[in-house]
Homo-oligomer: A and B are copies of this chain.
Amino acid sequence: MKIVLDTQGGDKSPEEIMRGGVKFAKNSESEIIFVGQKKQIETELKRHSDIKYSVLHAPEIINMTDAPAEAVRNKKNSSLVAGINAVKEGLADAFVSPANTGAIMAASLFRLGRIQKIDRPGIIIALPTLKGKKVFVIDVGANADCTAYNLLQFAIMGQVYANIQGIVGPTIGLLSIGQESNKGNRLILEAHAILREIPNFVGNIESNKILEGEVDLIVCDGFSGNLILKAYPSGAAFALKLFKREIQKTLRTKLGGWLIKSALKNLRPLIHPAQYGGALLLGVNGVIIIAHGHSDSEAIKNALFVAKNSVENQLIPKLKKRLDNYQSCCY
Q: Which residues of A contact B (CB under 8 A)?
A: 128, 130, 141, 144-145, 175, 177, 183-186, 188, 206-211, 221-224, 226-228, 230-243, 246-247, 249-250, 252-253, 255-260, 262-264, 266-267, 270-271
Which residues of the partner chain B approach A249 to less than 8 Å between Cβ atoms? 263
Q: CA of A239 to CA of B233 in the docked complex: distance in angstroms?
A: 9
B144, A184: Cβ atoms closer than 8 Å:
yes
25 A-B residue contacts at CB 8 Å?
Answer: A130-B242, A144-B184, A144-B188, A177-B223, A177-B227, A177-B230, A207-B231, A208-B234, A209-B234, A211-B234, A211-B238, A224-B227, A232-B234, A233-B235, A238-B270, A239-B240, A239-B270, A243-B267, A247-B260, A249-B263, A253-B259, A253-B260, A255-B256, A259-B259, A260-B260
Which residues of the partner chain B approach A227 to less than 8 Å between Cβ atoms? 175, 177, 207, 224, 227-228, 231
Q: CA of A5 to CA of B144 in the docked complex: distance in angstroms?
A: 42
B246, A145: Cβ atoms closer than 8 Å:
no
B253, A263: Cβ atoms closer than 8 Å:
yes
| Residue of B226, B236, B242, B271 touching A177 (CB-CB under 8 A) | B226
Which residues of the partner chain B approach A239 to less than 8 Å between Cβ atoms? 235-237, 239-240, 267, 270-271
B253, A262: Cβ atoms closer than 8 Å:
yes
Which residues of the partner chain B approach A260 to less than 8 Å between Cβ atoms? 246-247, 253, 256-257, 260
A238, B130: Cβ atoms closer than 8 Å:
yes
B230, A206: Cβ atoms closer than 8 Å:
yes
Which residues of the partner chain B approach A207 to less than 8 Å between Cβ atoms? 226-228, 230-231, 234
